[in-house]
Amino acid sequence: MEELKDKKAYEISFVAAAEEDVKTLAEALKGFGAEITFESPLSKISLAYPIEKKEEAYFGYFHLSFQPEEIVKLEKQFRVQPVVLRFLIITPPFVKARERRPYSPSPRRKAAFTPSTTERKQPSHLSNEALEKQLKEIMQ
């Protein structure tokens, strides 16, 4: 019971040369005490650059529960005896789902944006003569 409590969630993404390598990876993870909770479907991809003279590979990832102390041992084992071409182990971010409310401004803000009838200014219409007279006064 104590052992399950200490396990943390991880994600390992990998690029494998063959589909059989993925099975070997899953077995190696289980051998280190990992509990695989999700396995993504494999995707055949073209590599941006050759890795070990291979132009194509399989990409996939696992979600797993694992002892944090075992991660270092696992990485060392994969580097000494490469099971896959490339791998990356991360701790996935936990996203809290929260309820979203539709936006409604507070009554105070509604009042600030609603113009009252007394504040509205009606545009004044000036004749050309009155406008020229005002311009002359301003220019002096």
Q: What is the pLDDT of residues 54-84, one digit of tens each?
A: 999 999 999 988 888 888 888 888 888 788 8
115, pLDDT greater than 70: no
pTM, two decimals, is 0.59
Residue 137 has pLDDT above 60, yes or no: yes
32 φ/ψ angles, rounded to the nearest 5 degrees:
-90, 0
Angle 133-138-140 from CA coordinates, rounded to 5°: 100
Residue 106 lies in a domain: no
Residue 23 falls inside a structural domain: yes
Contacts of 68 (CB under 8 A, 6+ apart): 6, 8
Domain range enclosing 71: 8-90
Give the chain's domain count.
Answer: 1
How many other CB atoms are found less than 10 A from the CB of residue 38? Answer: 9
pLDDT above 50: residue 2: no
For the segment 80-105, what is each residue's pLDDT rounded down to a tens digit? 878 889 988 888 876 555 666 666 66
Task: For the beta carbon of residue 50, count every other beta carbon within 10 angstroms.
Answer: 9
Residue with tokens 């099971």: 83
List the CATH number of the domain containing 62.
3.30.70.60
